[in-house]
Amino acid sequence: MATLFAQFVAGYTGRSVDRRGRGLENGPLWSLPELQGLLDEWIVIWQNRPHDALRDPDSPKRAFTPNEKYAMLLESCGYVPAPFSGEDYVELLPERWQAINSYGIRLNHRTYDDAELTPLRRQHSGVAEKKGLWEIHYDPYDVSRVWVRDRRSEPARWITVLWKHLHRVGVPFGEMAWDHAREQFPCGTEEQIADAAAAPAAAGTRRTSTPEGPCDEAVPARRRADPSHCLRPAGPRSAHRRSSSGRSGGHRVGEGHPAGPV
């Protein structure tokens, strides 16, 4: 992907910062939807392109395409369609390794805690390769909770841990909104940053969801003087909303609740 796709895209910054070209941000750049469309087209070509690493003992001189190799394995082995469980979705989330302290878990200046962490506080996780740190998975688009893998239990399980200040937030938001709020309050407390991050999202829910509705009373007077801003189509409401079913604090993921896509 790096050598056959990314390096030919306008605005490619190189494999590292020291190889970044000059003035790339001033050149023609693709938007994320456009880049996604280009990648989708390239994947179709890649799946039907012979790959030197895809060989077969019966035809050692021939290189197969990914689609051809998949079809061969499917005919010989078959498949059993199995839907993902809640734990499978958590497994696919980004991970980080850190300690569980007396106050809980600190992640990007946020505190997560739950009563189920009590026997794990300041304890060795049992994973020597990670120096006893605990495996924690998080959703970049929903900062309301994280998941801790408890390998010491039999069988191993996921513990859902809620954000300590979740009660201050009426609508979900992700890391981007949190980072923006931190820039506004670089020396602010966790409570102040939480209120600042939740304010834009909460204001969005108070605005009308139809173009014909009245203007928001909080709109400045200089904008109210121009009624055209009320005719804009309403944006998507909480596109990254996550269902709270099966994710409440102290319960195992996927226990009696359907899992939604990540």
For 175-200, how does the pLDDT look when each residue is reduced to its tens digit (9 = 90+)? 998 999 899 888 889 999 988 888 86
pLDDT confidence tier of residue 201, bands split at 50, 70 and 90: low
Q: What is the structure's pLDDT at 162? A: 95
Summary mean pLDDT of the chain: 77
Kindly state the DSSP code that residue 104 receives in the 8-state scheme.
B
Q: Strand order in 95-98's β-sheet? A: 95-98, 134-139, 142-150, 157-162
C-alpha 164 chain-centroid distance? 20
Termini Cα distance of the chain: 24
Answer whether 242's CB lies under 8 Å from 147's CB: no
Report CA dihedral (67, 69, 74, 76) to the nearest 10 degrees: 160
Residue 136 has pLDDT above 50, yes or no: yes
Q: Residue 222: what pLDDT?
A: 41
What the block records as the tokens of 236 is 């998507």
pLDDT bin (cut points 50, 70, 90) of residue 10 is: confident
Give the pLDDT confidence score for residue 19 in this predicted structure: 65
Closest CA to 144 of 235, 236, 241: 241
Say which residue, 237 or 105, is predicted with more confidence: 105
Query: Binning pLDDT at 50, 70 and 90, where does residue 130 land?
Result: very high
pLDDT at 209: 45
Residue 138's pLDDT is what? 96
**Which of 21-25, 130-134, 187-191, 247-251 has maximum average pLDDT?**
130-134
Distance separating alpha carbons of residues 139 and 175, to the nearest angstrom: 9
Give this prediction's pTM: 0.54
Based on the number of CB atoms within 10 Å of its own CB, is 65 exposed (0-12), middle (13-18) or buried (19 or more)?
middle
